[in-house]
A and B are shown apart, each in its own frame.
Chain A
Amino acid sequence: GAGVSQSPSNKVTEKGKDVELRCDPISGHTALYWYRQSLGQGLEFLIYFQGNSAPDKSGLPSDRFSAERTGGSVSTLTIQRTQQEDSAVYLCASSLVVGDEQYFGPGTRLTVT
């Protein structure tokens, strides 16, 4: 079956603009995760959703970052007033339930100029 998909694959934006990154999880997976991978750094957890429960936002680096998951499926990560330090690859993963094997999407490479 189809894996996790993300769009766009690449995004270049000017400093100060808002961006939206999209993640389509594997069908039937109730848990969805967002990570950030900066150059030379490990993956940094941002936020996860489990079913209809309130999301765990503990990893969001600032209030410019927010995420939604509509209908328990597709998720959107929004970064407002982007800064150059936001440049990174943003990875989405999903799993059947929290704690289960996570399957990653290909990522969105964000470049803030």
Chain B
Amino acid sequence: KNQVEQSPQSLIILEGKNCTLQCNYTVSPFSNLRWYKQDTGRGPVSLTIMTFSENTKSNGRYTATLDADTKQSSLHITASQLSDSASYICVVQNQAGTALIFGKGTTLSVSS
């Protein structure tokens, strides 16, 4: 059973709109939670990394939140651009730092 679940599986939005992607996890205890962006045909690129004690982390138009009590994280994208079209992957690292558990990702399509 995957310990990191993401929703929605896919999402289509208009350019300029905002969106929020969800990640629920059961990995416990954990060291940190990461959000990656993966363009088609490319390797994942890190957007944010949050330790269990952090609640929010921003990277430009990307803002990630973390609620360690409910084991939920979200990635909010503001004023979306066509280049935001990609797969967004939530990843939880175990406390020992030896394993990354990946969600299946949310595929975002931004249309003009």
Contacts and interface: CB of A to CB of B under 8 A. Distances in A.
Range, interface on chain B: 20 to 34
Interface string B91-106: 0010011111011110
Range, interface on chain A: 20 to 34
B98 A98 contact: yes
Contacts, number: 46
Given A42-B2, A42-B89, A43-B102, A104 B44 contact: yes
22 contacts: A4-B43, A42-B4, A42-B89, A42-B102, A42-B105, A43-B44, A43-B89, A45-B100, A45-B102, A48-B98, A98-B97, A99-B31, A99-B93, A99-B98, A102-B46, A102-B100, A103-B46, A104-B44, A105-B43, A106-B41, A107-B41, A107-B42
Interface of A: 4, 35, 40-45, 48, 56, 91, 93, 98-99, 101-107
